[in-house]
């Protein structure tokens, strides 16, 4: 229905679209900055998507979870006030409770500084563009990018004094205010400072507390940049950022609605300070040295009401048998990360080379208030050497090879007297070949290898003495999980045609996952104990295609289509089925959070120099949300629109997301949590995505 509706809107908005228009403007050139060298998107091997500032503004997006739906074969998992984890091509994390995350399967950086192990801090304040790289990025990012990377680049200082002030209001008492000031401090020093406050009551009504703000959003971010050009051959860049995210987390109800009854709503909060210092020096003719030092200190608080109701819920209500359970889970993490990346690289030439060294030190302390207090300390050290060589084999043929060897050491201890230490070495890398078929058509093929280190399932080890013998036998063999190795094979074509009015990017990939790290759970009903763990006892396979298409039809309209198709399977994984209360094998089943289809179709309209708009639809197919059951998140399609009017330096915008108010889910759980049936009936529970939201924005730019 929505696809048909959007197609009709596009056709209606394109009078004479089939006719060539001599005044049509070519599409703007896009530069990718994630690699060792900046490169044009259409000249870069690999499946890469770039979201520009205009797309972010048109969707009135404040966070990654409000734009990821535009990208083929990219998903995210809820489970908090914002998206917590990102999945690319069906690979990515789903949950986190006690166990520390060695590495996220999909890394996220802002201006080269790691955001952390969750996507909570993936705000889009003063952002220039978001780059999403699919497939392992082992040479550049090592084990931080098993499935891919999300690189967020914010705006740099400008050559002239400039800035903006913007504000906006939307339903659910949602508002934001932001500002930026940029310009030169001297002939060689430029500076930029930006800040923004986002506030919303959220779209959950807590009927017990009679509040509509228990799932609120309260997000403050500020960032400063200082760029110092020492000479024509040397520069230094300093970035300092502070964020204070104090979001609520009250998202689940027994009836699967947006009306909750929890008496102690949870929270999904994060306070983070980050510093980044980078430099670029030309030390010899044709040779540069680049450095990037970064430090971040984050305090994360994540908690929720486990029973989703209030003490006394069973008073006057038939609970059979009369059992009342009331508890909360609160996890407080303090994480400090320091990293240094130093590399030598040649200037762009027929032969380009890069040699570098990377190190990272991370400390993570956890305090958990559950049934009994729990604390853990986790320390990791990483050391890596890497190199890349790019050679022009012949006219229009280029070969690129990269290799990275990394050493990973960690130490863990907790109040359950579990003490572990490990040391592991692994290699990642890639080999790609490019052929410029013509000045406007690029063919490429890529082989790449990614690794995600193994470790100890600390929740499993802690629960062993508490569970029944049947579970003890199963969990004993899963106290450790192996390193996952991923091989990616990919071919693609990128073409700019019709005087750069049409851009096409098409890729096909096949991924073999060996010892795939898959998140699973067991539930011991006799002792009422959940155990979460990573299970690496199965291999897996992922393959599919990605299509991104942009076409400037005439001076009014430019259409776009981003479509992904994905097939996944798990060879054979033993799980504890909560419906059968027995262990059973999953054989050749789809992986979690892996919809077969993802799509984003729409049109950008430029009626004149002042009036422009965007109409689009995004959607995805049905997909499983876990391995310990067969519960599914239903397919959905969402329609969005915006219109903007420029009057000199002032821009007014009206926007709407989820125009038809589609009821859809961003996360799912499966267990028994209703006291009215004595906690005996397992059911699917869903965290609902945002309903129809709409608002107006006003900005002044100078």
Query: What would the mean pLDDT of 223-232 be, rounded to a whole number?
Result: 95
- CATH code given to domain 2-701: 2.40.170.20
Residues 6 or more apart whose CB falls under 8 angstroms from that of 245 comprise: 81, 82, 120, 121, 123, 218, 219, 220, 268, 269, 270, 271
Closest CA to 206 of 248, 236, 244, 250: 250
pLDDT tens digits, 551-567: 999 999 999 999 999 99
Closest CA to 383 of 401, 402, 407: 407
Q: How far apart are CA 521 and CA 463, in angstroms?
A: 12
Q: What pLDDT does 83 receive?
A: 87
Contact 285, 334 (CB under 8 A): no
Q: What pLDDT does 525 receive?
A: 78
Instruction: Decide if pLDDT at 322 tops 70.
Output: no
Pairwise pLDDT comparison (317 vs 219), residue with the higher score: 219
Instruction: Decide if pLDDT at 6 tops 70.
Output: no
First to last CA, the chain: 43
Contact 502, 496 (CB under 8 A): yes
Query: What would the mean pLDDT of 136-151 be, rounded to a whole number?
Result: 90
Closest CA to 666 of 628, 620, 627: 620
DSSP symbols for 636-686: EEEEEEEEEEEETTEEEEEEEESTT----EEEEEEE---GGGTT---EEEE
Q: How far apart are CA 63 and CA 524, in angstroms?
A: 38
Q: pLDDT class for 9, splitting at 50, 70, 90?
A: very low
Peptide bond into 617 cis (omega under 30): no
Q: Supply the pTM of this predicted model.
A: 0.93
Instruction: Decide if pLDDT at 278 tops 60.
Output: yes
Query: What would the mean pLDDT of 140-153 be, rounded to a whole number?
Result: 90
88-to-79, 189, 260 alpha-carbon distances in Å: 18, 39, 31
Residues 6 or more apart whose CB falls under 8 angstroms from that of 367 comprise: 331, 332, 373, 374, 375
Choose from 576-585, 621-630, 675-684 the range with maximum mean pLDDT.
621-630
Pairwise pLDDT comparison (349 vs 613), residue with the higher score: 613
* DSSP reduced 3-state for 401: strand
pLDDT tens digits, 416-428: 888 999 999 999 9
User: Beta-carbon neighbour count of residue 215 at 10 Å?
Assistant: 27
Q: How far apart are CA 247 and CA 494, in angstroms?
A: 41
Supply 15's token pair: 């009078």
Tell me what percent of the residues of the chain surpass a pLDDT of 70. Answer: 96
pLDDT tens digits, 564-617: 999 999 999 999 888 778 899 999 999 999 999 999 999 999 999 999 999 999
Q: What pLDDT does 3 receive?
A: 42
Supply 510's token pair: 């096949």
Quick one: DSSP state of residue 461? H
Contact 393, 355 (CB under 8 A): no
Q: How far apart are CA 460 and CA 417, in angstroms?
A: 13
Query: What would the mean pLDDT of 201-226 be, rounded to a whole number?
Result: 96
pLDDT tens digits, 60-111: 999 999 999 999 999 998 889 898 889 999 999 888 888 887 678 898 999 9
Q: What pLDDT does 564 receive?
A: 98
Residues 6 or more apart whose CB falls under 8 angstroms from that of 33 comprise: 131, 151, 153
Give the least confident one: 499-503, 514-518, 549-553, 674-678: 674-678
User: Beta-carbon neighbour count of residue 121 at 10 Å?
Assistant: 25
Instruction: Decide if pLDDT at 15 tops 60.
Output: no
Quick one: DSSP state of residue 8? H
Q: What pLDDT does 23 receive?
A: 59
Beta bridge partners of 573: 586
DSSP symbols for 626-638: -SSS--EEPPEEE
Query: What would the mean pLDDT of 163-175 be, rounded to a whole number?
Result: 97
Closest CA to 501 of 443, 555, 564: 555
Q: What pLDDT does 285 receive?
A: 85
Q: What pLDDT does 529 receive?
A: 85
pLDDT tens digits, 507-544: 999 999 999 999 998 988 778 788 999 999 999 999 99
pLDDT tens digits, 446-461: 999 999 999 889 888 8
């Amino acid at each position: 229905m929505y696809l048909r509706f959007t197609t009709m809107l596009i056709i209606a908005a394109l009078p004479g679209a089939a006719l060539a228009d001599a005044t049509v403007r070519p599409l703007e050139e896009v530069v990718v900055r994630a690699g060792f060298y900046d490169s044009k998107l259409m000249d870069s091997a690999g499946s890469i998507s770039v979201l520009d500032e205009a797309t972010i503004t048109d969707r009135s997006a404040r966070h990654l979870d409000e734009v990821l739906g535009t990208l083929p074969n990219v998903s995210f998992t809820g489970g908090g006030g914002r998206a917590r984890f990102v999945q690319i091509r069906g690979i990515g994390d789903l949950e986190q409770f006690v166990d520390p995350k060695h590495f996220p399967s999909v890394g996220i950086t802002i201006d080269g500084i790691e955001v952390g192990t969750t996507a909570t801090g993936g705000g889009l304040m003063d952002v220039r563009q978001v780059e999403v790289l699919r497939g392992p990025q082992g040479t550049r990012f090592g084990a931080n990018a098993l499935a891919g990377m999300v690189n967020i680049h914010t705006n740099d200082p400008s050559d002239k004094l400039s800035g903006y002030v913007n504000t906006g209001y939307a339903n659910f008492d949602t508002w934001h205010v932001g500002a930026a000031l940029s310009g030169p401090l001297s002939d060689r020093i430029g500076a930029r400072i930006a800040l923004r406050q986002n506030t919303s009551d959220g779209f959950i009504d807590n009927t017990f507390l009679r509040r509509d703000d228990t799932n609120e959003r309260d997000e403050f971010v500020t960032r400063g940049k200082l760029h110092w050009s020492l000479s024509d051959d040397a520069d230094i860049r300093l970035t300092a950022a502070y964020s204070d995210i104090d979001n609520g987390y009250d998202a689940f109800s027994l009836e699967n609605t947006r009306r909750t009854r929890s008496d102690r709503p949870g929270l999904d909060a994060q306070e983070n300070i980050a510093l980044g210092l980078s430099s670029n020096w030309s030390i010899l003719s044709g040779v540069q040295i680049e450095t990037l030092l970064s430090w971040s200190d984050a305090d994360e608080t994540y908690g929720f009401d486990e029973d989703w109701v209030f003490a006394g819920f069973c008073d006057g209500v038939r609970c059979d048998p009369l059992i009342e359970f009331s508890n909360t889970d609160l996890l407080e993490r303090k994480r400090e990360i320091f990293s240094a990346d130093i590399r030598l690289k040649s200037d762009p030439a027929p032969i380009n080379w890069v040699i570098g060294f990377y190190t990272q030190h991370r400390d993570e302390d956890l305090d958990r208030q559950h049934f009994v207090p729990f604390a853990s300390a986790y320390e990791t050290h990483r050391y890596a050497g890497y190199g890349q060589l790019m050679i022009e084999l012949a006219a229009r043929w280029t070969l690129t090879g990269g290799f990275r060897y990394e050493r990973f050491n960690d130490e863990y201890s907790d109040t359950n007297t579990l003490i572990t230490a490990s040391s592991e070495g692994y290699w990642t890398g890639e080999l790609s070949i490019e052929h410029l078929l013509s000045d406007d058509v690029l063919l490429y093929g890529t082989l790449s290898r990614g690794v995600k280190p193994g470790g100890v399932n600390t929740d499993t080890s802690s629960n062993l003495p508490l569970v029944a013998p049947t579970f003890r036998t199963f969990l004993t063999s899963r106290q450790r999980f192996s390193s996952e190795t991923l091989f990616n094979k990919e071919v693609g074509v990128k073409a700019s045609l019709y005087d750069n009015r049409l851009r096409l990017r098409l890729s096909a990939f096949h991924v073999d996952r060996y010892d795939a790290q898959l998140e699973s759970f067991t539930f011991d009903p006799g002792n009422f104990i959940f155990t979460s763990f990573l299970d690496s006892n199965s291999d897996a396979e992922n393959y599919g295609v990605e299509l991104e298409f942009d076409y400037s039809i005439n001076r009014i309209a430019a259409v776009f289509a981003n479509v992904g198709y994905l097939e996944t399977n798990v060879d054979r994984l033993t799980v504890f089925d909560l419906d059968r209360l027995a262990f059973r094998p999953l054989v050749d089943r789809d992986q979690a959070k892996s919809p077969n289809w993802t799509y984003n179709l729409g049109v950008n309209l430029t009626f004149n120099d002042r009036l422009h708009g965007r109409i689009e639809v995004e959607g995805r197919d049905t997909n499983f949300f876990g391995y310990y059951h067969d519960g599914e998140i239903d397919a959905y399609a969402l329609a969005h629109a915006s219109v903007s009017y420029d009057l000199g330096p002032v821009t007014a915008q009206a926007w709407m997301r989820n125009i038809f108010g589609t009821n859809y889910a961003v996360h799912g759980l499966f267990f028994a949590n209703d006291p009215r049936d004595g906690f005996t009936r397992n059911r699917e529970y869903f965290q609902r995505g945002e309903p129809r939201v709409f608002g107006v924005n006003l900005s002044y730019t100078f």
